[in-house]
């Protein structure tokens, strides 16, 4: 008998290759089986998508090639995983093969049969050596006794019939709830697995440590694996195999982990669910948070076959400042909202101190009252944190004689002055040069930095605090943490350690310092240049700023006992030029619901998400003209498409940073009043987008991409 497996391979998106390629096989291949197949002159990795006994119409034996080999010993990917991939590909307008293969560890492609067999054998041994998961364990191990609020939330989430929004203040003990929910799931079934997603693992080594400490003693050393893009190919393969074979019970990962194979999946946690890093900005531009919700639904439906008391796969989205999409879903009752307003230990959230920069001495980077407040706190042995969302020494270097500026020759942006290694670096394309000794245009020696970055702020603060003494009589110490200072492996951990140990008094940094860290002695957090976000044209700017400030403020006063002992309240200082902005009134009250309600009302009035549905068609080309011409042609081609009436197509416009690495960028906004209409329209449009590439006016087009539910427009 002959079978005709349809196989998906990593076709570049939009290559026009159909969903599956048909091959021949003597054996039935279960859908989900990993195979090697010939493609042109190469042999590539593929996933069997279906395996019919009849060839597709019109296809003859002579036109097909046999499957070259099966990856032996690897269980097929299951039907739920296939359904997830199919959905993601369709919803985000990419090819099935691209999404499916991107979800697999790259090294799987290069492994010989023997190498794979060896790896699998090792995994099996490890699994057998692991602690027997069905052994009853002492549930108290390492865990805290839950507060009433936590216990109620845990109980409610375990009974929930919908996705859950865990809306808990910073320091309210959300992580502890995740830990105990995880424990219960793992104990409920020997094969059960939990997926915990975080925006960035490297930034919060504490979280990984907490999960390891809690679960490795119970379920064995291999019970937890990480999956994120910072791992080596070998580590990624190992983690993926552990998850796929069920050896790993917990996968802790970034957005890519949402597509991992997890045959026993029963719980998905999306921590800091509002974080923009859950939305991929390249390739298939998926939202890992939204896919997590979909995935839990698919898993639950599959489990429901087992009967009325069938277990569910739950999904918990956690945040102190949920995304407005999630908040709205909870308002509508589609998600269950569980609130944990109180901080563990009863500590108060920091008091807001708004500094009106219009009334400060001209040119002051830090308002004098802020410097005074910091000095007092340092003298008492407390720590401060200062946030500035711009790394480097200064965003621009300029010549005051002739007006030369440190523009990047490849981008429509300035290169940033980094004083420490005396370079000018483009943060968009990476182009780096040594700082010129004199103005390249007029030879003037007096070229000067304009504006301030974290490097300069660190220097400036050290000079402002030079006379301030710590309780031990030593001088105040300032440190900086940003993408530059943490580039070397291990440097982030080391910098966090100096903060935890109290060696450092003031930590200066980008938003990286605001995330998740459980610092115990910080009592003052300051945001220096918070306004910059508010003037952006992006309609999500206030939402992002509110989340950032709440999260930054959440680093202060985490240890209530320490704060009480010190006899001072913790504070969040915000320097602003627009103190009357309604955002600050809500921030003062720590009133996220009020802020969300006000923002949602605005969005509803303007038909913006979550009340309207959007997609972007983006074009990269050698000239701006070609990019826009392609977009306009695509818009023209859309006339007459079914559902066109339900769609608004806006004119093509250049991106804010129009040119990056010598590529001109433009985009066109697509809006619809319903998700279904948007999806149907995009599906019908896709072949026309491909066809428009070969129009004469689109000459010079490098690539196009559709971004569904874009975060930045
Ligand atoms: P969140 O994730 O909401 O910011 P965490 O789970 O990190 O909060 O909890 C904040 C701090 O409180 C942590 O140091 C944690 O160990 C501690 N903690 C959490 N729950 C409890 C509890 N029930 N009893 C005592 N301490 C707790
Ligand atoms: Zn000059
Ligand atoms: Zn550049």
Residue 704 to residue 11: CA distance in whole angstroms: 16
**Ligand 1 geometric centre to CA of 325 (Å):** 27
Which tens digit of pLDDT belongs to each residue from 557-569? 888 888 888 877 8
DSSP 429-492: T--EEEPPSS-TTT--S-EEEES--HHHHHHHHHHHTTT-B-TTSPBP-EEEESTTTT-STTHH
CB 165, CB 322: distance < 8 Å: yes
Nearest CA to ligand 1 atom 20: 173
**Residue 654, pLDDT above cutoff 50:** yes
Q: Specify the pLDDT at position 134.
A: 46
Task: List the structure tokens of 447.
Answer: 């070229």
Give the residue, out of 146, 165, 176, with the most ligand 1 atoms within 8 A of its beta carbon, to mutate for a pocket test.
176
Task: List the structure tokens of 593.
Answer: 């619901």
**Ligand 3 geometric centre to CA of 426 (Å):** 5
**Residue 643, pLDDT above cutoff 80:** yes
Residue 511 to residue 708: CA distance in whole angstroms: 26
- Ligand 1 pocket list (CB less than 6 A): 144-147, 150, 168, 170-176, 344, 518
In this structure, the strands spanning 351-356 and 250-253 are unpaired
Which tens digit of pLDDT belongs to each residue from 417-436? 999 999 999 999 999 999 99
**Residue 404, pLDDT above cutoff 60:** yes
Q: Any idea what DSSP says for residue 515?
A: S
**Ligand 1 geometric centre to CA of 344 (Å):** 6
Counting residues of the chain whose pLDDT is more than 70, the rounded percentage is: 96
**Residue 254, pLDDT above cutoff 50:** yes
Q: Which atom in ligand 1 lies closest to the alpha carbon of residue 169?
A: 3
Residue 82: pLDDT band by 50, 70, 90 thresholds?
A: very high
**Ligand 3 geometric centre to CA of 429 (Å):** 4
CB 538, CB 614: distance < 8 Å: no
**Ligand 2 geometric centre to CA of 438 (Å):** 8
Q: State mean pLDDT over 148-169.
A: 96
- Highest-pLDDT range among 121-130, 141-150, 292-301, 507-516: 292-301
Task: List the structure tokens of 618.
Answer: 């983006």
Q: Which of 23-27, 130-134, 456-460, 684-688 has the lowest mean pLDDT?
A: 130-134
SS3 657: strand
Q: Specify the pLDDT at position 129.
A: 66
**Residue 348, pLDDT above cutoff 60:** yes
Residues near ion ligand 2 (Cβ under 5 Å): 399, 401-402, 404, 439, 441-442, 444
Element holding 317 (H helix, E strand): strand 314-319
Residue 373: pLDDT band by 50, 70, 90 thresholds?
A: very high
**Ligand 1 geometric centre to CA of 343 (Å):** 8
Q: Specify the pLDDT at position 530.
A: 82
Q: State mean pLDDT over 222-239.
A: 93
Q: State mean pLDDT over 50-72.
A: 90
Q: Specify the pLDDT at position 505.
A: 96
Residues in the chain: 713
Minimum-distance ligand to the CA of 169? 1
Residue 307: pLDDT band by 50, 70, 90 thresholds?
A: confident
Give the max Cα distance, the chain: 87
Q: Specify the pLDDT at position 133.
A: 47
CB 96, CB 86: distance < 8 Å: yes
Q: Which atom in ligand 1 lies closest to the alpha carbon of residue 516?
A: 4
Question: What pairs with residue 35 in β-bridges?
Answer: 46, 70
Q: Which atom in ligand 1 lies closest to the alpha carbon of residue 271?
A: 2
Q: At what angle do helices 592-606 and 324-331 cross, to 10 degrees?
A: 90
CA distances from 487 to 202, 326, 373, 490, 491 (A): 11, 33, 32, 9, 7
Q: Specify the pLDDT at position 136.
A: 44
**Residue 705, pLDDT above cutoff 80:** yes
Nearest CA to ligand 1 atom 23: 146
Give the residue, out of 175, 182, 206, 319, with the most ligand 1 atoms within 8 A of its beta carbon, to mutate for a pocket test.
175
Q: State mean pLDDT over 207-234.
A: 93
**Ligand 2 geometric centre to CA of 655 (Å):** 29
| Nearest of 474, 369, 455, 471 to residue 416 by alpha carbon | 455
The radius of gyration computed from the CA coordinates of the chain, to the nearest angstrom, equals 27
Q: Specify the pLDDT at position 18.
A: 62
Q: Look at the alpha carbons of 265, 271, 274, 275 in this order and tell me if their dihedral is positive or negative.
A: negative
Q: Which atom in ligand 1 lies closest to the alpha carbon of residue 554?
A: 4
**Residue 124, pLDDT above cutoff 80:** no
**Residue 658, pLDDT above cutoff 60:** yes
Which tens digit of pLDDT belongs to each residue from 174-203? 999 999 999 999 999 999 999 999 998 777
Taking the complete model, does pTM exceed 0.85, yes or no?
yes
Q: State mean pLDDT over 277-305.
A: 95
Q: Which residue has the tokens 């989205």?
A: 317
CB 650, CB 669: distance < 8 Å: yes
**Ligand 1 geometric centre to CA of 220 (Å):** 24
């Amino acid at each position: 008998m002959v079978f005709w497996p349809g196989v998906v391979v990593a076709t570049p998106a939009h290559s026009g290759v159909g969903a599956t390629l048909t091959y021949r096989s003597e054996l039935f291949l279960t859908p989900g089986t990993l195979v090697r197949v010939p493609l042109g002159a190469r042999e590539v990795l593929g996933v069997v998508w279906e395996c019919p006994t009849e060839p597709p119409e019109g296809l003859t034996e002579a036109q097909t090639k046999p499957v070259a080999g099966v990856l032996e010993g690897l269980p097929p990917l299951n039907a739920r995983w296939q359904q997830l991939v199919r959905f993601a590909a369709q919803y985000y307008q990419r090819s099935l093969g691209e999404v499916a293969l991107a979800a697999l560890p790259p090294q799987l492609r290069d492994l010989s049969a023997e190498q794979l067999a060896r790896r699998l054998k090792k995994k099996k041994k490890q699994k057998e050596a692991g602690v027997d998961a069905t052994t009853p364990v002492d549930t108290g191990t390492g865990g805290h006794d839950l507060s009433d609020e936590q216990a109620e939330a845990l109980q409610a989430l375990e009974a929930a019939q919908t996705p859950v929004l865990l809306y808990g203040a910073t320091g309210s003990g959300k992580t502890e709830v995740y830990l105990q929910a995880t424990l219960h799931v793992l104990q409920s079934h020997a094969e059960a697995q939990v997926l915990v997603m975080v925006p960035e693992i490297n930034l919060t080594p504490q979280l990984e440590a907490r999960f390891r400490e809690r679960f490795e003693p119970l379920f064995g050393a291999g019970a937890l694996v990480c999956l994120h893009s910072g791992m080596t190919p070998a580590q990624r393969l190992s983690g993926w195999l552990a998850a796929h074979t069920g050896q790993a019970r917990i996968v802790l990962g970034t957005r890519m982990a949402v597509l991992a194979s997890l045959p026993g999946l029963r719980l998905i946690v999306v921590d800091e669910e509002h974080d923009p890093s859950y939305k991929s900005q390249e390739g298939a531009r998926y939202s890992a948070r939204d896919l997590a919700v979909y995935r839990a639904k698919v898993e639950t439906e599959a489990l429901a076959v087992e009967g009325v008391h069938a277990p569910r796969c739950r999904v918990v989205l956690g945040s102190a400042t949920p995304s407005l999409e999630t908040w709205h879903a909870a308002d509508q009752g589609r998600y269950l909202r569980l609130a944990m307003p109180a901080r563990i230990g009863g500590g108060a959230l920091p008091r807001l101190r708004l500094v009106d920069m219009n009334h400060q001495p001209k040119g002051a980077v830090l308002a004098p009252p802020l410097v005074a407040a910091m000095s007092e706190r340092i003298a008492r042995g407390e720590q401060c944190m200062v946030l500035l969302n711009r790394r480097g020494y200064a965003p621009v270097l300029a010549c005051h004689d002739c007006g030369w500026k440190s523009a990047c020759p490849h981008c429509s942006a300035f290169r940033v002055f980094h004083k420490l290694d005396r370079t000018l670096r483009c943060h968009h394309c990476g182009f780096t040069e040594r700082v010129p000794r004199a103005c390249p245009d007029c030879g003037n020696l007096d070229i000067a930095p304009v504006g301030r970055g974290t490097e300069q702020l660190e220097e400036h603060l050290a000079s402002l605090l030079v006379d301030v003494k710590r309780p031990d009589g030593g001088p105040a110490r300032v440190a900086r943490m940003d993408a530059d200072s943490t580039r070397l492996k291990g440097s982030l951990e080391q910098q966090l350690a100096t903060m935890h140990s109290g060696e450092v008094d003031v930590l200066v940094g980008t938003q990286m310092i605001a995330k998740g860290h459980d610092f115990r002695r910080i009592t003052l957090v300051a945001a220096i240049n918070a306004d910059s976000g508010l003037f952006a044209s992006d309609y999500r700017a206030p939402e992002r700023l509110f989340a950032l400030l709440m999260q930054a403020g959440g680093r202060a006063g985490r240890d209530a006992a320490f704060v009480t002992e010190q006899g001072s309240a913790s504070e969040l200082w915000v320097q602003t030029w627009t103190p009357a902005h309604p955002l600050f009134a809500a921030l003062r009250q720590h009133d996220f619901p009020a802020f969300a309600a006000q923002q949602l009302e605005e969005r509803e009035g303007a038909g913006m998400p979550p009340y309207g549905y959007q997609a972007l068609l983006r074009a990269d080309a050698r000239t701006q003209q070609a990019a826009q011409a392609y977009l306009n042609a695509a818009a023209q081609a859309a006339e007459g498409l079914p559902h066109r009436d339900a769609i608004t197509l806006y004119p093509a416009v250049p991106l804010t940073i129009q040119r990056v690495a010598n590529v001109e960028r433009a985009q066109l906004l697509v809006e619809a009043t319903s998700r279904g209409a948007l999806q149907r329209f995009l599906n019908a449009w896709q072949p026309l987008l491909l066809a428009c590439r070969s129009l004469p006016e689109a000459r010079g087009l490098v690539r196009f991409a559709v971004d569904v539910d874009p975060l930045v427009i």
